[in-house]
Structure 1
């Protein structure tokens, strides 16, 4: 009994003299470490893609550049065979138009979904899935027996070909530093430009040599080659530590788990304050049992007075259920600098689609050219675009490095837009010249020169705006590029739908004089972002940080 009383006294002391004991700290939710947006690109990661060898980086660049060709080929290799499809499948003009317009529209909108998946599950799984869909769609079109199947499978082709557009630039952002991206973006964007310039010639030759289905069998083979490249040669460049989208979702899931743990702990925790006398009486009654097992009784009392240990936190793994494209899209679109630059980028791309579409139509109706000759003329536009992409990218990086040196090594994203100014002078003039040269039926050599400068100046500007979109959205580059694809697709869809009615109403000269005015507005938006974009971006970043707190 002495032992029991000693134990009881010790219990009483513990209860009545809390100052002599060290109470356990209250369990409070652990606030996740805040990710600093400007530094997230340089967070330490294992197997850092930016520290890969030049050869390995170039392999990645070649693979994604080759895959990006399928988007341009898919929309342009189809054009020379439109008449044959119409006859073979007994289709009307509206059905044929639907196969073109839906392809452009979906190719612009679907990247929003692909980018969200890539920010949770990585780049490689998206590339493999999308190119598989594209290849299957090409097979189905090649074997289609009705125009409805062609329309549906063209949508599947658009779904598959759109992924590279959205996450190709994000993949380059994964492996290259900001001062290298302009040049690499220029090299990367050269590949999609081969589609418009080579696609018409290739499609015309295959259709003339075989039939319209040969073009889609070619796309099937090309898609299969790209699929094999991604399966066996491509290493995933995505690192979740450097993705703001992934970290935001992970932060939300962590808070939910902590809240559930805290609620469970509160519901199971019971506070026991044993009165001294009642405890003694109870122990006296049990007498022999206490003497027989004093250690057990002591453990019982200690267990009553100590809270249950919280269950360990489970490792959180994000799944497809965590994919939600709307929050990151909303964060991108809320920024004024993004809204302005995306509108400018979409208008430039709309101009590109419009001029290639109306040029094919007018070379046939005004100059009397066949599909092969039309394709050869459009090569001038393609060569100009390729030159503008490569030289524009190098110029963009050179200007960025020069301004960074002047600032003592500090830099900000808007420096990139300084490089667009030379192209702004040429683009509206080349646009007006092309329209009136075609309307006046001037020699085709002059038209080719105008097409070259239209392609060169538009892509010269676009290369810098694309690099800016990546630089200005640190940790959200994939989502930002997907938003860019959406603007491009929607405005290209609108441009191709209104091009023919406007051309018939006001002629080529009037149409491209109107486009010159729109391009001046586009350049004004770019200059506005160059001037005010930094302030808008800083305010938006501060607002986002305050909300995370």
Structure 2
């Protein structure tokens, strides 16, 4: 595969390009990717190299790996929810104090990625992953061995710091390799942990607590983190565009996977290709741990972050109260309650095969409408594309479906009509909610292509802090209003919040172009 150089010295300065067809190109394409024969008009400034030199199979393998890594943060947050009573009895403290560890976990889950995500945008994804895995592994061992509430509280915060950045790193890794034309499909994989982790956690935690005791939960996480660390060390290549460009720039030896290091010793790049002398090393930015906070001041990004936080907070009320509602209304054991979370996980997986393709289809539709030809191998210039409209045309219908499903879930639970009705509504709630949230995440990454990990970290900060508040008020609100009226209230807040999305859909491109023109004038002066 050609590796002539870096597409641009500034990864955010992306152009719509045309790649002349070469005799060897056809051999590099799988039969499932023949659609990319179409080419976008030539841009002389960025015609030397494709957006990434990683093959379709390599991209899929890397994104599947980082999606597993992204699960550990929300999984760790929810896996011991079924064991709260066991932990409280073992440590001889109240349930309220143990619940405090849930809130503090979410707070650190929101704060830590702002530092690690920005670090990874400057020094690479691999060093950030290694740091996260080491911290997370040590915290899990400590949690499995500790015997005091203070140690539990402190180590849960450390555990959160080690795991929380994996979601931002996963989305950033996908954005490093995937153009906007395919991000609906691939970012759906990378961000799957946001909703899949919280739904699988109670199932695993309930089974482990019931049969092996609550300490087995942390030993399970220790084994999981150890396996993931070995995979990162052995096979995960560096993808950060500020470090390796489109993948053709060799990273420093300490930033190579074991497989990549062995390939380089045989004169090949980390993907197995032979680097050329035309390859230039991208400029490295100085890390700014507060860069995520700056994004909240942007009109479009701040609006998207705010709405995403509102949606996540409402969904977290469902997650944190589902087990208690099922136990109180139906008298189920912790094992059965844990299994009742499965429709949420299945719905999240199903979105990948429905909404992800729908988002990419809408992108192709707008490309055709703008007179451009779809090309998966080269990045598209946003100046001629209403990317806000492209993403939000899919987000808004999914949000309204999520509102309806939440109301149905609330009243079926409130009236104890049918467990099947509860599970079906939870499934479709997960499909629509994860779709809307993933589309927002994709749009934020689209708008900040030069620093995707920082952008996703800002997203994570807004959502987790809102989720922490939702976890604290969920049960008191339901006790006061009932689960039925609480679902109506949350759905109403979601529906009202879509007015912000309509505003971005109508004016987002104008705001973006005005900001770009202002930045260009500043650079010329």
TM-score calculated relative to the size of structure 1:
0.76
**Following the alignment from structure 2 to structure 1, what is the Cα–Cα distance between the partners of residues 486 and 16?**
44
1:359 aligns with 2:334: no
**Following the alignment from structure 1 to structure 2, what is the Cα–Cα distance between the partners of residues 433 and 193?**
20
- Kindly state the Cα deviation for residue 475 of structure 1 after the two structures are TM-superposed: 0.8
**Following the alignment from structure 1 to structure 2, what is the Cα–Cα distance between the partners of residues 193 and 134?**
20
Quick check: 1:337–1:529 contact (8 Å CA) kept in 2?
A: yes
- Kindly state the Cα deviation for residue 40 of structure 1 after the two structures are TM-superposed: 7.3
Quick check: 1:194–1:382 contact (8 Å CA) kept in 2?
A: yes
Residue 378 of structure 1 corresponds to 341
- Kindly state the Cα deviation for residue 462 of structure 1 after the two structures are TM-superposed: 1.3
Residue 482 of structure 1 corresponds to 457
Superposed CA deviations along residues 296-332 of structure 1, whole A, max 9, x for unmatched, are xxxxxxxxxxxxxxxxxxx99969xx43222x33542
Quick check: 2:11–2:449 contact (8 Å CA) kept in 1?
A: no
C-alpha change, 1:83 and 1:401, in structure 2 (3 Å) is same
Quick check: 2:210–2:334 contact (8 Å CA) kept in 1?
A: no
Residue 545 of structure 1 corresponds to 520
**Following the alignment from structure 2 to structure 1, what is the Cα–Cα distance between the partners of residues 9 and 335?**
58
Residue 121 of structure 1 corresponds to 123
- Kindly state the Cα deviation for residue 202 of structure 1 after the two structures are TM-superposed: 1.2
Structure with the higher helix share, 1 or 2: 1
Alignment of 1:22-421 (within 5 A): 37-39=12-14, 50-240=52-242, 322-326=286-290, 328-329=291-292, 331-409=294-372, 410-414=384-388, 415-421=390-396
Which consecutive residues of structure 2, in runs of 5 or more, have no partner in the other structure? Answer: 1-7, 18-44, 246-280, 373-383
- Kindly state the Cα deviation for residue 47 of structure 1 after the two structures are TM-superposed: 9.5
Residue 500 of structure 2 corresponds to 525
Quick check: 2:242–2:282 contact (8 Å CA) kept in 1?
A: no
**Following the alignment from structure 1 to structure 2, what is the Cα–Cα distance between the partners of residues 34 and 78?**
46
**Following the alignment from structure 1 to structure 2, what is the Cα–Cα distance between the partners of residues 375 and 316?**
48
1:465 aligns with 2:477: no
**Following the alignment from structure 1 to structure 2, what is the Cα–Cα distance between the partners of residues 449 and 80?**
22
Quick check: 2:12–2:448 contact (8 Å CA) kept in 1?
A: no
**Following the alignment from structure 1 to structure 2, what is the Cα–Cα distance between the partners of residues 350 and 390?**
25
Superposed CA deviations along residues 27-84 of structure 1, whole A, max 9, x for unmatched, are xxxxxx9969542798879997712112221221121011111112201111111111
**Following the alignment from structure 1 to structure 2, what is the Cα–Cα distance between the partners of residues 524 and 164?**
31
C-alpha change, 1:546 and 1:36, in structure 2 (3 Å) is farther
Superposed CA deviations along residues 364-414 of structure 1, whole A, max 9, x for unmatched, are 111111111111111122212222244211110111111111111152321
Superposed CA deviations along residues 111-140 of structure 1, whole A, max 9, x for unmatched, are 110111112211110001011101111100
**Following the alignment from structure 1 to structure 2, what is the Cα–Cα distance between the partners of residues 232 and 241?**
19
Q: 1:497 aligns with which of 472, 477, 480?
A: 472
Superposed CA deviations along residues 131-157 of structure 1, whole A, max 9, x for unmatched, are 110111110000011011011111111
Deviates more, 1:433-442 or 1:34-43: 34-43
- Kindly state the Cα deviation for residue 196 of structure 1 after the two structures are TM-superposed: 2.3
Alignment of 1:503-518 (within 5 A): 503-518=478-493
Quick check: 1:389–1:463 contact (8 Å CA) kept in 2?
A: no
Quick check: 1:242–1:475 contact (8 Å CA) kept in 2?
A: no
Deviates more, 1:96-105 or 1:186-195: 186-195
**Following the alignment from structure 1 to structure 2, what is the Cα–Cα distance between the partners of residues 101 and 45?**
50
Quick check: 2:10–2:283 contact (8 Å CA) kept in 1?
A: no
Superposed CA deviations along residues 497-539 of structure 1, whole A, max 9, x for unmatched, are 1111111111101111110111102322222211111112222
- Kindly state the Cα deviation for residue 422 of structure 1 after the two structures are TM-superposed: 2.9
**Following the alignment from structure 2 to structure 1, what is the Cα–Cα distance between the partners of residues 352 and 107?**
24
Residue 407 of structure 2 corresponds to 432
Quick check: 1:417–1:530 contact (8 Å CA) kept in 2?
A: yes
**Following the alignment from structure 2 to structure 1, what is the Cα–Cα distance between the partners of residues 474 and 10?**
47
Quick check: 1:41–1:474 contact (8 Å CA) kept in 2?
A: no
Quick check: 2:73–2:197 contact (8 Å CA) kept in 1?
A: yes
**Following the alignment from structure 1 to structure 2, what is the Cα–Cα distance between the partners of residues 72 and 330?**
22
**Following the alignment from structure 2 to structure 1, what is the Cα–Cα distance between the partners of residues 10 and 195?**
37
* Structure 1 counterpart SS, 2:331: coil
* Structure 2 counterpart SS, 1:50: coil
Residue 445 of structure 1 corresponds to 420
Residue 20 of structure 2 corresponds to none
> C-alpha root-mean-square deviation of aligned residues, in Å?
2.5
Quick check: 1:392–1:463 contact (8 Å CA) kept in 2?
A: no
C-alpha change, 1:461 and 1:119, in structure 2 (3 Å) is same
TM-score calculated relative to the size of structure 2:
0.80
C-alpha change, 1:132 and 1:241, in structure 2 (3 Å) is closer
**Following the alignment from structure 1 to structure 2, what is the Cα–Cα distance between the partners of residues 101 and 407?**
47
C-alpha change, 1:316 and 1:428, in structure 2 (3 Å) is closer
Superposed CA deviations along residues 93-118 of structure 1, whole A, max 9, x for unmatched, are 23201110111111112111011111
**Following the alignment from structure 2 to structure 1, what is the Cα–Cα distance between the partners of residues 11 and 192?**
34
C-alpha change, 1:147 and 1:357, in structure 2 (3 Å) is same
